[in-house]
A and B are shown apart, each in its own frame.
Chain A
Amino acid sequence: MALSIVESCVNCWACLDVCPSDAIVSAEPHFLIESKNCTECEGDYADPQCASICPIEGAILNSFGDPINPEGSLTGIKPELKDDALKEIQAR
C-alpha cells in the first residue's frame, strides 16, 4: 500500500514538505515515493498530503496505479466541458 509519482512530476518540492512520513525523496528526473515509508497518510490525515498539494494532474498514482488527480480535477474544468470553457475564456 503506497502511492507513487510518475514522470509528469515537475519537481516542485511541495509534496516533500507536507509528507508526514518522510516518504518522498528528491530525485532526478523526478521526485519519488519510497513505498516502504508511505502510509498514504492513514492515521495522520483524511487525505494523502502529497496528492492534496500536487499541482500536476496525473502525477501521483494510488496503490492501484490510478491517478488521484485525474484530468480536469485541478483546473476545475471537466474534459467534456473544455470546449465551452475555451469559448467563454477567449471571448474575454
Chain B
Amino acid sequence: MELNVLNADQAPATAEGCSASACGSSDDQMSHLPDSIREKVQNHPCYSEEAHHYFARMHVAVAPACNIQCHYCNRKYDCANESRPGVVSELLTPDQAVKKTKAVAANIPQMTVLGIAGPGDPLANPERTFETFRRLSEEAPDIKLCVSTNGLTLPMHVEELSKHNIDHVTITINCIDPEVGAKIYPWIFWNNRRIRGKAAAKILIQQQQKGLEMLVAKGILVKVNSVLIPGVNDEHLKVVSKIVKEKGAFLHNVMPLISEEEHGTFYGVMGQRGPSDEELQDLQDACSGDMNMMRHCRQCRADAVGMLGEDRGSEFTLDKIDAMDIDYDAAMKTRAIVHKGIEAELAEKQLKRERLAGVKVPSGPVAANKSFRPVLMAVATSGGGVINQHFGHATEFLVYEASGNGVRFIGHRKVDQYCIGNDTCGEKESALAGSIRALSGCEAVLCSKIGYEPWGLLEDAGIAPNGEYAMEPIEEAVMSVYQEMITAGKLDDKTELKRAEV
C-alpha cells in the first residue's frame, strides 16, 4: 500500500501538533502534519478516516513473488472470499494492470490512488512493478501511485522509485531487534541463499532501516506498517514507533494480527492469538505520544477496488475490462471535476470542525471546575460523516473518544451483520451477541435506528443505545452525548472508570 516519509527539515513541525486544525478531530493523524505533507495526502483514502468516505483506492496484483516468509502470511493467496492483505483472485500482467486501472478510474472517478501491494513483495517483482508504474505515470498522470514493501530490497530500488509518480512508500516494520524478528520471519532469500533465524532477521532489519533513511533523504513520504503480535512484538512496537518517527516516517499504522486457523498461516495453524480491540487501542495510544498513528486501516486485499472497506473488484475482472472502451482523456476531465467537488466539501467540513474545536465542555453547576474522564462511543455510519446507519445493518462501528479535549477518532470495530431484514437467520442471536462484544469498552452506541431486542441487550451490557442523532454530524453528536452524560451526573461516579482500570 502506501507510506510516506518526511523531509528532514519538515519533521520538527509534527511534534507540536494542533497548529493547523482541530486537535482531537477524527482526522487527528492528519492534522498533526505539516501543510506540505497534508497537501500530498489529503485525497488519499488510506490516510484519513474522513477522506476514505470520499476517495477510493485500488490495488493491482502484479507482484506475486516474495523474498521472505512472514509467519502471518500464507503464500497460497488465491481466494475470492477472504478479505485480508496478501489475498487476490486474479494475477495481472503489467499491461492488464494498466488497462484495469484506467477502467476503474473512468468508472469510479473518485479513485485517486493506485497501489501495488502484492500478493507477494512488490520490490521482489521489480520488472512487473516498475513497468506498471512507468506506464501509469505516462498514461494516467492524475493517479497517485504508491507501493508497499517488506523492505528487503528497498535500498537498491530507491532511485527507481523516485523516478515515478510515487510519493508514498509503505514499509512493513515489525521489529528492530533480531531476537524478536526471528519469531516473526523464519527465513529470507538474500544474495542467492536462504538465510534463517536471527541472521535473517538482522539483514532484513538493516535493509528496512536503510531503505527508510534513503527514502526520507529523497523526500519520498514513508508510512510504516506494523503487525501487532501479542507476546512477540507488542511491547517492542513502542520502541519501533519511536525510532521510525525519529528517522522521518510520517505515519505509523499498527494493525492487529489476523490469524484465523482456516487461513493456513503458520501463526493461524499454531494457535498464535491476535490482539483484542483493547490491546490494539492501548498500544496505539502508547505510541501516539511519539508518532502520528493511523487508526482506520481496513487491512484490505492486494487486489481491492473501491472505497476503503468495500471491494468492487468483481466489477472489473479481466473479461469485463476487455469489453469496456475507455477514453482516458475524457475520463480525466470528469475526474478533475469530481475531485474538485469533493475537495470543496471537505474544506467546508474542515471549517465546521474548527468551530467545533472551540466548543467547551459545559460549565454548569455540575461541571464547574471538574475534569471528567474520557468516554468511548461507537457510531454506525455508511459514510459522509453523519450518523446514518441502522444498528443492525452495520458491518463495522467507528469508535470515538469524547473528553474535555474534544472528540477524536480511535478506530473501527468489525461486526457481523445480524439483521438482514427478516427473521430467517438462525444465527441471529449469536451474531448480535458478537456485535455487543465487539463494542466492549464503549459506553454508548449512536445509530440512526435500533431494534427493541438489541436495545435491551446493549443496556444490559452497559452500553447506552442512542437513536436521537440520526443524520447528524458524528463529532457534534458525540460531543452532545458526552455533555448529556456530564449533565446527568453519569461521569461523577469514580468507580465507573472503565477503561482506566483495565
Chain A residues within CB distance 8 Å of chain B: 10-14, 16-18, 45-47, 49, 52-53, 55-56, 74-76, 85-86, 89-92
Contacts and interface: CB of A to CB of B under 8 A. Distances in A.
Contacts of A52: 189, 192-194
A84 B115 CA distance: 40
Interface of chain A: mostly helix, strand, loop or mixed: loop
A56 B124 CA distance: 17
A46 B65 contact: no
Interface stretch (B267-275, B294-302, B336-344, B389-397): B267-275
A9 B91 CA distance: 16
Nearest to A92: B231
Contacts of B99: none
Interface string B19-35: 00000000000000000
A56 B75 contact: yes
Interface in B178-218: 186-187, 189, 192-194, 196-197
Contacts of A10: 75-78
Contacts of B272: 89-90, 92
B266 interface: yes
Nearest to B232: A92
Contacts of A90: 270-273
Contacts of B192: 18, 45-47, 49, 52
Contacts of A85: 270
B266 A75 contact: yes
Contacts of A89: 267, 270-272
B193 A92 contact: no
A76 B231 contact: no
A47 B194 contact: yes
B125 A17 contact: yes
Contact of A74 (B66, B124, B187): B187
A14 B67 contact: yes
A44 B375 CA distance: 64
B120 interface: yes
B374 interface: no
A76 B187 contact: yes
User: Range of interface residues on chain B?
Assistant: 20 to 34
B193 A14 contact: no
Nearest to B196: A76
Contacts of A76: 186-187, 196-197
Contacts of B120: 12-14
Interface string B42-82: 00000000000000000000001111010000011110000
B454 interface: no
B155 interface: no
B467 interface: no
Interface in B259-313: 266-267, 270-273
A38 B232 CA distance: 41
Given A10-B76, A13-B120, A46-B193, A55 B69 contact: yes
Interface in B108-136: 120, 124-125
Interface string B224-250: 000001111000000000000000000
A39 B124 CA distance: 23
A76 to B, nearest CB: 4
Given A76-B197, A92-B230, A12 B189 contact: no
A47 B77 CA distance: 27
B76 A92 contact: no
The 3 closest A-B CB pairs, nearest first, are A92-B231, A14-B65, A10-B76
10 contacts: A10-B75, A14-B64, A14-B65, A18-B192, A46-B192, A53-B65, A53-B194, A74-B186, A89-B272, A92-B229
Given A76-B196, A92-B230, A53 B271 contact: no
A34 B467 CA distance: 66
Given A17-B65, A91-B231, 17 more contacts: A11-B78, A12-B66, A13-B91, A14-B67, A14-B124, A14-B189, A17-B125, A18-B189, A45-B192, A55-B66, A74-B69, A76-B187, A76-B196, A86-B270, A86-B271, A89-B272, A90-B271
A56 B77 CA distance: 13
Contacts of A75: 186, 266
A74 B229 CA distance: 20
Contacts of A17: 65, 124-125
Contacts of A46: 192-193
A7 to B, nearest CB: 12
B61 to A, nearest CB: 11
A53 B189 contact: yes
